[in-house]
Amino acid sequence: MRLQKFLARAGAASRRGSENLMTAGRVTVNGRVVTELGSKVDPRVDEVAVDGIVVRLSDEAVTLALNKPADVVTTMSDPQGRRCVAELVPTDRYPGLYPIGRLDRDTTGLLLFSTDGELGHALLHPKKHVEKRYVALLEGRPSESALKRLRGGIELDDGMTLPAAVELLEGKEAAAALSTLVETARTVQKASEQYVRELANRSEHRSVASIVVHEGRKRQVRRMFEAIGHPVAALHRTDFGPVSIGDLVPGSWRRIEGEELAALYGALRR
């Protein structure tokens, strides 16, 4: 097995992250540093270590869903001392957990983790077009023509986006989405009551939208709405492929199993 594939499947990092570990000289095989990409190992007999810690293929991969609060960075450690997602998932119980993609520090909602690096790599691959759904509190109210620009794909500084499914929410749907956005805002340790009140102030100057994208560019949803002149005041991810956040409270996690896990792997075969 290729070494970077072994590291990804063992949960040491994503496929790309595993390559970075190798080129940085942090990976050894039977005590010898291996930096050449494409090097192969035999998992039955070779001892692979990262920073001196032996990594092994687990008998069963574990995949989790986390409701990420705001003011938390999507990293497993942070040299700046900021709160990171590793503090919210059971890395001691499931060594090798790694976030699948990332959410911005200010963005809340569904974040997947897995010890199966191959799953994470596949879910994020552009050719798979796995859907991610968000609800967003917007400054102003986009016109139908502005929304049509997003539905057809819009030019950003890193290229044209794929068409997105986007609609403004009204009535009970808008109220439910706004309630979620306000509740997650309350989980921010430094959030003032004034901020929460401002977030809850749905006047004619703000609207709530649902958007489904198929890519994972940096701050993509925020940049898309900015491109049509309606910046995002708050953003929350509710779905990743067939997995929904459900009733997870901010900061809590659950294991993905059974039919839901089968559907997640099944999304890669479409």
**Residues marked as catalytic:** 104
Contact 112, 64 (CB under 8 A): yes
Nearest to 63 by CA among 122, 16, 5: 122
User: Could you please report the per-residue DSSP string of 208-228?
Assistant: EEEEEES---TTHHHHHHHHT
Phi, psi of 85 (to 5 degrees): -65, -20
